[in-house]
Chain A
Amino acid sequence: MTEQPVKTPRPERVQLFVTCLVDQFRPEVGESVVNVLERLGIQVDFPEGQTCCGQPAFNSGFWNEASDVARHFLDVFDATEGPIVVPSGSCGAMVRNFYGEMFEDDPAEMERVRRVSERIYEFTEFLVDVLGQDDLVTNLGPHLDETATYHQCCHLERELGVDHQPQQLLKQIEGLEMLPMNRPEVCCGFGGTFAVKFSDVSTAMLNEKLDNAAATGASMIVAGDTGCIMHMAGGLRRRGSDQQVRHIAEILDEATSLDKNNTGEQT
């Protein structure tokens, strides 16, 4: 967030919280995060004990189960040092905003929550607010000849307040033509188990989103959260659409890759 001082020494090493969805469903996103950070001269550690932040159960009302998994998360990451980078607004918000809701009556746990949540940064937030807004463009000169439209993921925008960093980074990519989408701020209808429990409603929301994205004519939708990406990608695939949905880390990876032939992995 903005209150984090930008002019602290540039971190040399970060801890990666890759998130359960990236680990299991979109590992390419995690690889892209590591690629970009390493190209920026930052060493990336992956604490192997990590699993999930607990959000799925928390959002479903199962706070007992969620708090156990959250404690496990705190065990793993409180034992590390330095910034924690997460390529997800939703999981970042879980730690930063909602752990406090779950543990508010537990002062000892709150102390760990405070320590860890002060260290956690969503990926684009880290790049822009911690490294500095011109760090990536100056060091790596991103270039990608593509057309894209940006979907504003809800938790990234409204829970974490990361409301300009992703678009700022995309704007810095030479050759990338950003085509504005109608109603970019409206939810895609994912909402975790909401998509399963209220399938009809979720689908109607998704259709509106995909229609708006299709109308841009962009070759891909760029977004910052893997849940939303899986949701939109699943819908596009079912429609038989050629449009792709990519995580912003993948775009930044491709745009900064020296060997442009060795990119464009798809799931």
Chain B
Amino acid sequence: MLPTTDRFKKGAKETLADPVIQMSMEAVYTGFHTNRQSAAAATEGWDEQRDRGRAIKEHTIANLDYYLEMLTDKIDENGGNVFFANDSAEATEYILNVARARDVKTVIKSKSMVSEEMSLAHEMEAVGIEAVETDLGEYIIQLAGETPYHIIAPAIHKSQDQVAEMFSEMTGTDPGQTPEELTTTARGMLRETFQRADMSVTGVNFAVAESGSIVLVTNEGNGRMCTSIPRVHVAVMGMEKIVPSMQDLGMMLRILIRSATGQRISSYVTMINGPRREEEEDGPEEFHLVIVDNGRMKLLADPKLREALYCLRCGACLNACPVYRKVGGHSYGWVYPGPIGAVVSPVMSGLKQGKDLPFASSLCGACREVCPVKIDIPNMLLHLRQQVVEGPPEDRSVGRIERLGWKAWRFGNMKSSRFWAGGKLANLLGRPFARKGMFRRLPPPLSGWTRSRDLPITASSPFRDRFKKRRPNSSGGEE
């Protein structure tokens, strides 16, 4: 997917003006977020479980090469093929080659964010292979020609009416269909595709190194259809999606699913151990695992950002984020939106282009509070901000005026007499323009504030003067 991370402000403005989306985004809080809160409250030792989950990820990422090798060996043993892709282009090429070599006509996809990095469905269509998304949300946005709006709920921004209208145009069904009827319609359309598909592409929620198992967490059953009907199964994963053992997997599933939807367990948890064996009736003849870097090494190499690789893609930080709920998913301009997206999207797709994303946060910390592995997202945003301002030349992008402004701020704060004088001066200069001690309109950059809020003038008698007056002889420190 081509990043449009430089369009954040424009995208945010458009989304704020869209009442349908604003309404839909409410469900992110009242549904997902609230359900997560209840699930967390109902789970004994929840916080300790998050600590353990984090410790597992910490250990795995610190020994990533070791576990990737173990995983590769196991999958090999199980009769599957593993391919390491440095970037999206390499991954795409490998998958297209597999499809072409087997004369594949139709590919069914289950949900995979990594495949969104590659725009895989588009790439397939471009070479004449039919590629159909089978997760209902993904299916809806594929029909709409859009990209996912949310990590686990890709079509969260679409209203029921919009979906009904879209289905109606395609199949001639009643545009007033209920959600149940719409699901049945989609099911009907998809069923036929499932039956004739000769290859599937799925994501990977976890890969278990000790057994070479690929784990899919779904609620619709489409993942299971994808991994049992077609003759070829290609699973695609980011290189961080690995856990050492089955025991670790148990812990990760607990915290992932509760954080994502508030369920204790999802309707389906599917484990794949390679292609069909001789004694088995179902399953693909061939199994491929494509492990993708695509910028993840950049995160791994930076000790301040490494913990972004602990992410389980549960979406809890999106649901908790008051900024995401206002600006929506597309404003972030790349595959991953919301707080975790504000960290990984600019790093993976280019910090200069995505320089707004780390700043597009009030640093409220709601994301860290809900993260199943306690990723300190605010802290990473702070480090990225510093990189944009003080980092290597290829990352830097800050205007001269802002630089000058902070130099002046520094000067004014290095001595209390200057600080005091600055306040007095602002009071004197501002007084003719203030009404009842407040400004209604100020020039840029403060116009950003006064567009919707009054700003008080600095006090004519600041606290330090008042303090002196109340006790003329008291002091502490000197100057």
Contact = CB atoms under 8 A, between A and B. Distances in A.
Interface stretch (B61-69, B93-101, B446-454): B446-454
Nearest to B424: A24
Main SS class of interface, A: helix
A59 B414 contact: no
Contacts of A68: 410, 414
Nearest to A157: B365
B476 to A, nearest CB: 3
Contacts of B459: 23-27
A187 B478 contact: no
Interface string A123-157: 00000000000000000000000000000001101
Given A68-B410, A201-B12, A267-B437, A238 B362 contact: no
B400 interface: no
Interface string B360-372: 1111111011000
In this complex, the member of B29, B369, B448 whose beta carbon has the largest number of chain A beta carbons within 10 angstroms is B448
B366 A189 contact: no
A233 B327 CA distance: 24
Contact of B322 (A25, A54, A186, A203): A186
B478 A206 contact: no
Given A47-B476, A49-B477, A194-B361, A234 B456 contact: yes
A51 B476 contact: no
A205 interface: yes
Given A61-B386, A234-B453, A202 B362 contact: yes
A190 to B, nearest CB: 6
A52 B362 CA distance: 20
B364 A197 contact: no
A111 to B, nearest CB: 20
A52 B413 contact: yes
A183 B30 CA distance: 11
A49 B416 contact: yes
A250 to B, nearest CB: 13
A34 interface: yes
Contacts of B366: 154, 158, 185-187
Interface residues of B, number: 71
Interface stretch (A14-22, A172-180, A213-221, A254-262): A14-22
A19 B390 CA distance: 26
A205 B419 contact: no
A199 B389 contact: no
B16 A201 contact: yes
Contacts of B410: 57, 65, 68-69
Given A59-B385, A237-B454, A204 B368 contact: no
Interface stretch (B50-58, B136-144, B183-191, B462-470): B462-470
A1 interface: no
Nearest to A81: B476
A20 B458 CA distance: 11
Contacts of A25: 456, 458-459
B431 interface: no
Interface string B380-392: 0011011111100
B311 interface: no
B461 interface: yes
A230 interface: yes
A61 B391 CA distance: 10
B149 to A, nearest CB: 17
Contacts of A101: 379, 382-383
A22 B461 CA distance: 12
Interface string B402-439: 11001101101111100100010010000000000110
A108 interface: no
B475 interface: yes
B385 A205 contact: no
A51 B464 CA distance: 10
Nearest to B474: A45
Interface string A52-69: 101011111111110011
Interface in B34-85: none
B89 interface: no
Given A24-B462, A158-B364, A205 B476 contact: no
Contacts of A190: 362
A202 B360 CA distance: 10
In this complex, the member of B322, B414, B453 whose beta carbon has the largest number of chain A beta carbons within 10 angstroms is B453
A42 interface: no
A72 B390 contact: no
B479 A49 contact: yes
Contacts of B387: 61
Contact of B390 (A63, A205, A206): A63
B449 A234 contact: yes
A19 B440 CA distance: 24
Interface in B1-42: 9, 12-13, 16, 29
A60 B478 CA distance: 30
Contacts of A184: none
Given A31-B466, A46-B464, A230 B322 contact: no
B157 to A, nearest CB: 16
B448 A23 contact: no
B300 interface: no
9 contacts: A46-B464, A48-B464, A72-B415, A187-B322, A195-B362, A196-B445, A198-B360, A199-B452, A234-B456
Given A48-B475, A65-B407, A237-B454, 10 more contacts: A34-B467, A51-B413, A60-B359, A61-B398, A158-B369, A183-B29, A187-B322, A192-B362, A201-B323, A203-B451
Rank and list the top 8 A-B pairs by shortest CB-CB distance, nearest first. A191-B362, A45-B476, A234-B453, A47-B477, A61-B389, A61-B385, A158-B365, A187-B364
Interface of B: 9, 12-13, 16, 29, 322-323, 326-327, 359-366, 368-369, 379, 382-383, 385-390, 398, 402-403, 406-407, 409-410, 412-416, 419, 423, 426, 437-438, 440, 445-446, 448-449, 451-456, 458-459, 461-464, 466-467, 470, 474-479
